[in-house]
Amino acid sequence: MTELRVRDLHVEADGVTLVDHVGFQVRSGEIAVLIGPNGAGKSMALRGALGLVPAMGSVEIDGDPVSKMSAAERARRIAYLPQSGPMAWPARVRDVVALGRFAYGASPSRISGEDWQAVETALGECQLTDLADRRVDTLSGGETARMHCARAFCARTPLLIADEPVAALDPAQAFRIMDLLKTKAEAGLGVLVVLHDITLAARYADRMILMSEGRILADGPTVGVLTPDALAELYGIAAEVKGREIRLTGVLTEPVA
Amino acid sequence: MMRRIPLIPALIAGSAAVLFAACLLGSTPMPPSRVLTALFGTAAAGDVTIVWSIRLPRALAAWLVGASLGVSGAALQGLLRNPLAEPGILGVSATASLLAAVAIYYGFAAAAVWIMPVAAIAGALIATALITLLAIRVQSVVTLILVGVALSSFAGAAMSLLLNLAPNPFSLADMINWMLGSVANRSFDDIALALPFMVSGAAVLMLTRRGLSALTVGEEAAAGLGLDLQRQRIAVVVGAGLATGAAVSLAGAIGFVGIIAPHLVRPWVRSDPARVLLPSALLGGIMLVLADIGVRLAPTSSELKLGVVAALVGAPAFAWIAAQRRGAS
């Protein structure tokens, strides 16, 4: 059982508060989904929690403060997939996945033993074995997303944070990615994932964290947190909610908040 | 198959071949047997002088300058995730040249032979120190590039000012020679002065190569992988600064080797920035020795400058590489 515990996290830039004293947890074996409108501070909260931007507050993994860890130490305990941008070079799929072993001292040009095993296993899990020697610039969006998942999986960390891993994917590919994350969560991985697709979030989340204007509005089991009122406050949209089934019906003319 | 050819041994053999060829060719053509006796055995005093005092140090200087620029370019491209980066882009070459020109202008260079090289290295280190301080404070590589451009422009303007105000035609000619770039008349003493900086710079860059691989996926993702971004930036900038400064001290400003060598090597090493470094150094060395052989053999009344030839070949190649880029931001 591993737990990431974030308390009183506060991120500012140029005097503007981006993340306002928030707290949340990620635990082994569950998928926590972070949702909120654009500019809510979701990505910044993740970066702050990982120590990638200057932040105040306390972030601990099983009681060990992340701020005291080296970058490699942290990366061996928590994998991070930021919103993916373009690759710098037309690298090969296997080499990119192998970068997941970076924190263990491996590199694409020097990979053997346990590292190699981890890469092969991750390629298999993400159905990339046949694509392993392809150039990344020849992959489809779905294949690219699976490659980044494989990169995170082969680090074999107890925790994974993914920022919009299904952005710009068609529904089938989005399901595929979420199914991969779900399988890993059932095997014990603790996952925190940012999503914009509320119906997808409701379907896969064990827990939902709702964030708006730098603050957390609600955090708890999916059924219960995702209510028409909460969605109205978060996005200003009207919705019908029945358990995990959500139907968005339109934009509210009068924002509730 | 391309990958079947062992790239690094081939480039080492190529380097040896072009260095040997550079000893054969010149105003006094010498057959291989005479060069070999001059190199390793007992030969006529004239032959020994030609090979050991003129041709070999000149060729070696060209190779070392090319290698330093090649490895610096490859590392900077990996760091900035941009195939158009080169030592010039961070303003390192320009600042190094500027300080060398200052040494000439104020007559310091005449006081002792080592003053001008030391000035060039100092210029490179000043530029790298500025960039390093900035790299600690800003997150953006684009900002880093723009500061490099500003630094280059400023050094260029200051250089023009020096030319404008040159006290006599001799220092003007000296400074112009420096700006054009050449390895003519370099001795083993000149090489000995620059070599430690080249080697230490290249060594620092080799230590950064795993981090350069990680940067393939982007800066934020690389940080997520466990890369210490600040340390990586500082190490690459310092390593490239040392190697480039030493190269400028030996040959003046020579452009484009740092862009073209890594570009040619990349497809052979699966585009892995770590594996680009060493072959880029070797190929950069080969390219500059070949260019210098061309300079020496060209039937012109006054000697062509190596930097001019490198730019004449390099600038169109640069434009071609730039035009071929697709999609990348």
Reported as a single tens digit per residue, the pLDDT across A56-91 is: 999 999 999 999 999 999 999 999 999 988 888 999
Question: Distance, in angstroms, between B265 CA and closest chain A CA?
Answer: 13
Q: How does B233-244 read in b/e, with b if 16+ C-beta sit within 10 Å? A: bbbbbbbbbbbb
- Interface list for A 51-80 with B (CB within 8 A): 52, 70-76, 79-80
Cβ-nearest to A71 among B221, B228, B329? B228
B287: domain CATH number? 1.10.3470.10
Q: At what angle do helices A113-125 and A171-186 cross, to 10 degrees?
A: 130
Q: Is residue B272 part of a domain?
A: yes
Which residues of chain B are within 8 Å of residue A76 when distances are taken between CB atoms? 226
- pLDDT for A255 equals 53
Cβ-nearest to A80 among B224, B273, B327? B224
- pLDDT for A257 equals 52
- pLDDT for B268 equals 92
- Percentage of chain B exceeding pLDDT 90: 38
Q: Is residue B1 part of a domain?
A: no
pLDDT tens digits along B169-201: 777 887 787 788 888 888 998 899 899 999 999
Tell me if residue A92 falls in helix, strand or coil: strand
Tell me if residue A212 falls in helix, strand or coil: strand
Q: Does A209 touch chain B (CB under 8 A)?
A: no
Q: Does A94 touch chain B (CB under 8 A)?
A: no
- pLDDT for A178 equals 96
Question: Distance, in angstroms, between B276 CA and closest chain A CA?
Answer: 11
Kindly identify which residue of chain A lies nearest to residue B273, measuring between CA atoms: A89
Q: Is residue B3 part of a domain?
A: no
Task: State which H helix or E strand residue A256 sits in.
Answer: none
Q: Is residue B239 part of a domain?
A: yes
CA distance B139 to B134: 9
Kindly identify which residue of chain B lies nearest to residue A148, measuring between CA atoms: B217
Q: Does B136 touch chain A (CB under 8 A)?
A: no
- Percentage of chain A exceeding pLDDT 90: 86
Q: Residues near A124 by Cβ (< 8 Å), separated by ≥ 6? A: none
Burial class from Cβ neighbours inside 10 Å (0-12, 13-18, 19+) for residue B200 reads middle
Question: Distance, in angstroms, between B201 CA and closest chain A CA?
Answer: 22
CA distance B285 to B14: 10
pLDDT tens digits along B254-277: 888 998 999 999 999 999 999 999
Tell me if residue B247 falls in helix, strand or coil: helix
**Cβ contact A88–B328 (<8 Å):** yes
Q: Which residues on adjacent β-strands are paired with residue A110?
A: A107
Q: Is residue B71 part of a domain?
A: yes
CA angle B261, B265, B270 (to 5 degrees): 150
Kindly identify which residue of chain B lies nearest to residue A133, measuring between CA atoms: B270
Q: Is residue B259 part of a domain?
A: yes
CA distance A123 to B260: 34
**Residues B93-116, mean pLDDT to the nearest whole number:** 84
Which stretch of A220-234, B105-119, B244-258 has the lowest confidence by average pLDDT? B105-119
Cβ-nearest to B215 among A71, A88, A137? A88
Q: Does B327 touch chain A (CB under 8 A)?
A: yes
Count of structural domains, chain B: 1
The chain-wide mean pLDDT, for chain A, equals 93
Q: Is residue B16 part of a domain?
A: yes
CA distance A234 to A230: 6
Determine the distance from the C-alpha atom of residue B300 to the mean position of all C-alpha atoms in its chain, rounded to a whole number: 25
- Whether B328 shows a pLDDT value over 50: the answer reads no
- pLDDT for B329 equals 39
Distances in Å between the alpha carbon of A114 and those of A98, A106, A117, A129, A146?
Answer: 11, 10, 5, 17, 21
Q: Which of A107, A133, A135 should one mutate to test binding to chain B, selecting the residue with the greatest count of B CBs within 10 A?
A: A107
- Percentage of chain B exceeding pLDDT 70: 95
Q: Residues near B309 by Cβ (< 8 Å), separated by ≥ 6? A: B291, B294, B295
Total length of chain A: 257
Burial class from Cβ neighbours inside 10 Å (0-12, 13-18, 19+) for residue A231 reads buried
Q: Is residue B4 part of a domain?
A: no
pLDDT tens digits along B132-145: 777 667 766 678 77
Instruction: Decide: B2 and B10 in contact? Cβ < 8 Å.
Output: no
- Whether B56 shows a pLDDT value over 90: the answer reads yes
Cβ-nearest to A99 among B214, B228, B327? B214
Which domain range does residue B226 map to?
A: 9-23+30-328
Residue B70: closest CA among B229, B291, B234, B232? B291
**Cβ contact B217–A99 (<8 Å):** yes
Instruction: Decide: A52 and B223 in contact? Cβ < 8 Å.
Output: yes
Residue A207: closest CA among A236, A234, A158, A244? A244
**Cβ contact A72–B273 (<8 Å):** no
